[in-house]
Structure 1
Amino acid sequence: MLKLKHALAAVAAAGSLSLCAHVAADVDPALPDYNRVSGISGNLSSIGSDTLNNLMTLWAEEFNKLYPNVNVQIQGAGSSTAPPALTESTAMLAPMSRGMRQSEIQQFEERFGYPPTELPVAVDMLAVYVNRDNPIESLSLPEVDAIFSATRRCGYSQDVTRWGELGLDGDWQNRDFALYSRNAVSGTYGFFKDNAMCGGDFKSSINEQPGSSSVVQGVTESINGIGYSGIGYRTSGVRVVPLAATEGGEVFEATPENAASGDYPLARYLFVYINKHPNRDLDPMTREFVKMIYSKLGQEVVDRDGFVTLPAVLTNRILGELGIE
């Protein structure tokens, strides 16, 4: 699978405008309107990512306005719950904040004889949060690794345990970090481990939280707090720290433009996986839900929930590959 920067660059090259031009506007005006169809009713189940829980709920609300006879059920315990739910057919939609692992794809293929279909539905920026009163100006990923990791695989020269070791003085100099993290069932945990910690191991002192909002709440309540979560969970009680990919490298804020260009180092796709037989059409209910996601209505919901929307050049390509008109 292409890394986010390369994938987005490929999409931009396919269109007449740069992707930044699409993302700078909240929602691409070239996205199609969604038009209601008849005959859609039944139960639609979603099991998976906590990061996507709010977004799936908002989409479900819009879908219910269009189709009152559809009952949408959403569970958001973590990305690792999505692949088995899709494989065992207990869910029709499997939202994930990371890509499926090869072992998860293989289990699905053993059951059905073909792989699950991966649908990028939005772009997220994994933010490093500190308490709103924390004056830290920026961090590099090696510094972030040294804060959270016991192994420092990203190459920082020493372990850091307090804010003074990152240049803060005065009252901050001797304050120890209060570390907040997602738990291991989370796709966000896995993405952060792979991309911010170079695959290293977390320190034993981290406070594992069951959800994204819990991480942000912990940092809000602790003056010494630092944690990570999706940009959509930002509140007034925390501040997002600008990041550099390398020590001494250029610092980038978590903005849609920097996510689109690939400059922000912790940008990622968010996915919904579905079970689509390669030689058959999707069932009407799943088809219409997917079609709504990739419409102007669906991407307006993405924007409203604080994530970065997709350009029409990408959504049109996805719908075409699914055989959805």
Structure 2
Amino acid sequence: MSKYIWVSLMLFFLLGCSGGKQQQQKAIVTEPGDGLTGTIQLSGAFALYPMVVRWAEEFKRIHPGVKIDISGGGAGKGMTDVLSGVVDIGMVSREIYPEELKKQAYPIATVKDAVVLTVNVNNPEIDVIRKVGITKEMASRLWSRGMTTWGEVLGTTSTLPVHVFTRSDACGAAETFASWFGKRQEALQATAVFGDPGVAAAIQKDKVGIGYNNVAYVYDQRTKRPFEGLEVIPIDLNEDGRISEEESFYQTSEILVKAIGEGRYPSPPAHDLFLVTKGRPQKEVVVAFLKYVLTDGQYLANETGYIGLSNDQLADERDKLKLNKD
């Protein structure tokens, strides 16, 4: 991972973020020291990692007797770990498969995120890329090795080669991205790189590269703008060969998050992110953490570059925990 992303993410994790308006409701200030103790172990999706770190920081402030261990590794690892009892909670950034539900996977939707397409900001064709964007059909062809030059992608005479990147780990980002054009992760044909940070770093180093990332790994949450070297490719939603003003909402994470929340960005690649337990959670400290995520913790979503759930969806998710709405 490049030094730009590492430095920015580390500052974000250590210091937190200060921008962005929150959910309509104000945070409920809870005094620390209520006696809750215990350990929570989580693993899984890179997409949820920054959000869960932020939640954990605040939850531990409120409950200093609680220890929370968090590791990445991809949505597939999170699901495997929770179903095998290695962790209390799996972080999963894709839909839950029927076979996983049969094995007692118990998903709780927490926030929304999106996968966006990324290129190097110094791509020689960057001006044309900004003007015409990319369609769903073009993306499908690119990730099936159906195109080899940027001229084919952009409809120009350019012979500049295009280097396509995907994820090597079983992950929600790849599964969600592939589902946008009716495929599964296994069907994506490209140079495989591990993790969200790995794909972002690969694009930063390759001027003719194209990849995809979750929003939190593209935008610096201090500046709300893309990390150095990265730019988001706009999606040509109406496929008319140009990016209109209505299709241009990628300048900052705040503008993009607003578009996702309003449904102007397609779903997929916008999607829900889940915290998954094996069966309905029973461990007191785990239930308390999930309750926090679905109540007070929602005000941190926009601040961290995610989209909070609607009040109706929050009520549905709290019902899964047998929680009251207050």
Q: Same fold (TM over 0.5)?
A: yes
Aligned to 2:149: 162
Distance 1:178 1:104 in 2: 34
Judge which range, 217-226 or 28-37, deviates more. Answer: 28-37
Report the CA distance between 1:250 and its aligned residue: 8.8
- Counterpart residue type for residue 239 of structure 1: E
Deviations 1:122-153 (A, max 9, x none): 11111000111322021111011111114xxx
Aligned to 2:285: 285
1:248 equivalent to 2:237? Answer no
5 Å matches for 1:134-283?
A: 134-135=126-127, 136-137=129-130, 138-150=133-145, 159-167=146-154, 173-196=158-181, 198-199=183-184, 201-203=187-189, 206-234=190-218, 235-245=227-237, 247-248=239-240, 252=247, 253=249, 255-265=256-266, 266-277=269-280, 282-283=282-283
Contact 1:145 1:196 in 2 (8 A): yes
Q: Which runs of 5+ in 2 are unaligned?
A: 1-19, 219-226, 251-255
Distance 1:250 1:40, change over 3 A: farther
Aligned to 1:307: 306
Q: Residue 50 of structure 1 aligns to a residue in which SS?
A: coil
Deviations 1:172-212 (A, max 9, x none): x2211121211241121122222246448223xx2212111
- Counterpart residue type for residue 209 of structure 1: V
Q: Residue 94 of structure 1 aligns to a residue in which SS?
A: strand
- Counterpart residue type for residue 318 of structure 1: E
Distance 1:305 1:207 in 2: 30
Report the CA distance between 1:223 and its aligned residue: 0.9
Distance 1:118 1:76, change over 3 A: same
Q: Residue 21 of structure 2 aligns to a residue in which SS?
A: coil
Contact 2:22 2:303 in 1 (8 A): no
Contact 1:149 1:197 in 2 (8 A): no
TM-score (ref. length: structure 2): 0.77
1:132 equivalent to 2:133? Answer no
Q: 1:33 aligns with which of 14, 28, 34?
A: 28
Pairwise CA RMSD of aligned residues?
2.5
Report the CA distance between 1:34 and its aligned residue: 5.5
Q: Residue 174 of structure 1 aligns to a residue in which SS?
A: coil
Distance 1:303 1:289 in 2: 19
TM-score (ref. length: structure 1): 0.77
Distance 2:89 2:29 in 1: 19
Aligned to 1:122: 111
**Count of equivalent residues:** 278
